[in-house]
Chain A
Amino acid sequence: MSTACYHCGANCKETIQVEDKFFCCDGCKMVFKLLDENGLCQYYDLSDMPGLTAKGHFVSEKYNYLDNETIKEQLIQFKIGEQAHVVFYLPQIHCVSCIWLLENLHKINSGIIQSQTHFEKKEIKIVFNPSLISLKQVVQLLAFVGYEPVIHLGGNDWLKKKKVNKKQLYKIGIAGFCFSNIMMLSFPEYLSNDVLELGSLRHLFVYINLLLSLPVLFYSASGFFIAAYTGLRQKWLNIDAPIALAILVTFSRSVYEILSQTGAGYLDSMSGIVFFMLIGRWFQDKSYDSFAFDRDYHSFFPLGVTVLEEGKEVNKALSSLIKGEMVLLRTDEMIPADAVLRTDGALIDYSFITGENAPIAVAVGQMVYAGGIQKGRSIQLEVLKPVGQSYITELWNSPVLKTEKNTEKSFVHPWSQYFTIILFLIAIISGIYWSIYDTHKILPAVTAVLIVACPCSLLLTVSFTYGNVLRWLGRGKMYCKNASVIEAMHKIDTIVFDKTGTLTNHDDTHLEYTGTALTVKEMVAVKSVTRESLHPLSKMVTQLLLLQVADIIDFQKIENFIGKGTKAQCDDLEIIIGSVSFLKSNGIIIKDSIEENIEGSLVCLAIDGMYRGGFKINHTYRNGIEPMMKDLQARGYQLHLLSGDHPIEKKYLQQLLGKNIPMLFQQSPADKLSYIEALQKQGHRVMMIGDGLNDAGAIKKSNVGIAVTDQTHLFTPASDAILEGSQIYILNDLMEYAKKAKLIIVLIFILSILYNIIGMYFATSARLSPMVAAILMPISSISIVALSALLSYSFSSKLRAHN
């Protein structure tokens, strides 16, 4: 009988119970009890099973480094008397219950004065009393209830980012205020000829308008002038240049008309277009606050390490770690720097670095590399190189990665250049025309052309369309860093996949037994033996057998060889379980033809000296990979596969993906990087899809790097886009949709050309009245925005169908 855990909703057996509630593990039960004791059970009423699996392990020593004063200083933003403010990033925040629990932390520990969550950024701001609760205890409490903060010493980058956003909002607010008031005061002017007799009020209105337009010109529109200026200095005519020119011309002509009392000017159109363009830019830039796209290796490493100094444990900041120091590494901690192993028991999981799945046993005196995670018991390491010079961190310093990517100008810019050239031609032609027929109309006609036909509509189209496309891709759970990623995706012709963690599901590896069937008694015995070992493979064997049998028997004798295998005597059964070489060294003859190099992912079993079979790790490939790959190939993409793992599954992969896909195995991070580089030298535009630190170099080097993640965006290497692992099967549709962005922009641009032709008709005939301009401007802007939203929606039907 299985049921859902009351806390986290995971499937569980009805073994751990409180009253009528069942739990999947002791961790979940403990969290429930804590909440129950503090009267916080409303947590479970707000959403069904909101909790996060505690997974039954909780290492409190992990946060010892938070007692280090320098680290504390960097994390605590503000401290005065009995109050300290700290902000943590909690990627686990996902529902109303989360907010409720996190904002009620003060009920659990009175040292916490206030906690406030920011749902969209997935941040929590905690105000606590350092004399009652230490920073370490705050973090431990958060981790205990399931919200383990991702701590990185990014300093106060988030503050800077916030300020920039605010400036944009100020500009929009001021432009909106001025625009609406100028519009209101301009109405009488439009109608004055026939309905209203304005008299001296007309002057009052236009002067107020002039006053109101100043902040728009000097503050709100300043961004366009700056961008145009920097573009011109680099001898590059960007889209901002003609816009800035149009704004200037409109303003100058309006000032001239007002001062010479010949008209009311076009200040309403000017401030309106600035307002709309600012909104467009804001809409496009409002991206995913809670995602970190620019992480370098620093974010992956722990902040602090435990160093042994004369037998005493001392917490040190990672950056101050020097050569020759002895580091104490506990279970599940990451190796901070390349080092030599000094005590035995090392079982290092390099999956994040190399993509290899099974942990590796390392003997005393051997090298261990930064980024590996210790799976066995506590070990001691002697640091060989400072953190910045480790094997993995050196990748980042390679000059190949220093070049900026996607520096190519957007396809919109050449358009705006042609647009500007044509615009000037029309202005000149109409100037020549009027110089022949009516010299008084030269200036009005020429300026009117520049006013009407600024590429504002092009900018509006682009920013709103990219904004919409980014949002729809986000619904498909692909989160792009910015709009230029979409454009880079248009040009991709080659896609390189990583295997482990990208095509396969990390969390969902399982074992398969092949060999002669085991009797119940044998299964019980094997299970009893394997549960004594901490080796992850051994744990997996236990898990597998747990599904078959529940009993446990005692064994008379057990010998554990760390990283190799286990020998035990259970009643009358002699069990030897472990790696191929371990069995061979015990004199077991293995009949099956097993390749030596798959050692790490195979557990062999011998009972009473007879080889019985092996437990083999089977990756579960994500659903829908095969049709997705076929579709991508049909669309003309070249596919490649790079894996850090052994080629055990090559045959299966060929069957899955097709035989013509180049597949490379046992690739180091540097190999992957140079592979991408080689492809790019052949003129390909490469998209790299990977997950771990081992792909980080390749992701960074590629034209579009996508990080695949399963856990709510924990640990993603620096990338251009983040894709949720469950969504990789719709990659083809996402790519197709991103490509549609260009089509949408072209379609709307044609529409805006139509508006321009109408405006040109009025302009070249020197009949552009402020009223025509004031009608044309909002109609074109609003219809562009609406059409962009409509087209992006209708093209997204395939993406919506997946949800």
Chain B
Amino acid sequence: MSVIVILIIVSVLVAGGFLLAFLWSVKTGQMDDDYTPSVRILFEDNKCLDKKEVVEILPASK
């Protein structure tokens, strides 16, 4: 039966990983817009950012 203990721990950890992934995606604003990215991915050579890396700002920094 002790194998169940390990399995339970593993399953909670896996689920916890997904929870963290969700929290991270909310924090980085991936849930803000659910339409544009689906369109953007179909555009060819969308960005030419190789010249410069855009400085990311978090809303809190202002």
Contact = CB atoms under 8 A, between A and B. Distances in A.
Interface string A75-99: 0011010110100000000001001
A119 B32 contact: no
A100 B5 CA distance: 52
B1 A201 contact: yes
8 contacts: A78-B55, A83-B52, A96-B39, A113-B52, A119-B36, A162-B29, A199-B1, A208-B12
A174 B15 CA distance: 11
Interface of B: 1, 4-5, 8, 11-12, 15-16, 18-19, 22-23, 26-27, 29, 31-36, 39-40, 43, 46-49, 51-52, 54-55, 57, 59, 61-62
Interface stretch (A25-33, A179-187, A723-731): A179-187
A121 interface: yes
A170 B31 CA distance: 11
A710 interface: no
A173 B36 contact: no
Contacts of B54: 83, 113-114, 127
Contacts of A177: 15-16, 18-19, 22
Given A78-B57, A103-B40, A169-B26, A208 B8 contact: yes
Contacts of B26: 166, 169-170, 173
Among A159, A163, A177, A184, find the residue whose CB has the most chain B CB atoms closer than 10 A: A177
B47 A114 contact: yes
Interface of A: 77-78, 80, 82-83, 85, 96, 99-100, 103-104, 106-107, 113-114, 116-121, 127, 156, 159, 162-163, 166, 169-170, 173-174, 177, 180-181, 184-185, 199, 201, 204-205, 208
Contacts, number: 88
Nearest to A180: B15
Contacts of A83: 52, 54-55
B39 A162 contact: no
B53 to A, nearest CB: 10
Contact of A117 (B4, B18, B23, B36): B36
B33 A118 contact: yes
A103 B59 contact: no
B19 A174 contact: yes
A104 B45 CA distance: 10
A117 B40 CA distance: 10
Among B19, B29, B31, B49, find the residue whose CB has the most chain A CB atoms closer than 10 A: B19
Given A78-B55, A162-B32, A177-B22, 6 more contacts: A100-B43, A118-B32, A119-B36, A162-B29, A162-B59, A185-B8
A45 to B, nearest CB: 11
B11 A184 contact: yes
A231 B40 CA distance: 46
B62 A156 contact: yes
B62 A77 contact: yes
